[in-house]
Amino acid sequence: MAYKFEIIKDQADEYRVRFKYKSEIVFVTEGYTSKQNAKNAIASVKKNGPDAETDDNS
């Protein structure tokens, strides 16, 4: 699959989630203190993302 979530540990010892298309990073989340919180963020994006509104502030 071309899209994927990736959990990483950053230099501040926090967990972050990267959303990637092929090898390109589309977005990175804030840092989380636990891996479970990072997994919860992924679940939230999967659940709520399809219905998310788009704000064009340009």
Beta carbons of 17 and 29 less than 8 angstroms apart: yes
List domains and CATH numbers for the chain: 3-49 (3.30.160.160)
Please write the tens of the pLDDT for every residue from 10-54.
999 999 999 999 999 999 999 999 999 999 999 999 999 888 899
User: Strand, coil or helix: what is 31?
Assistant: coil
Beta carbons of 15 and 35 less than 8 angstroms apart: yes
What pTM, to 2 d.p., does this model score? 0.84
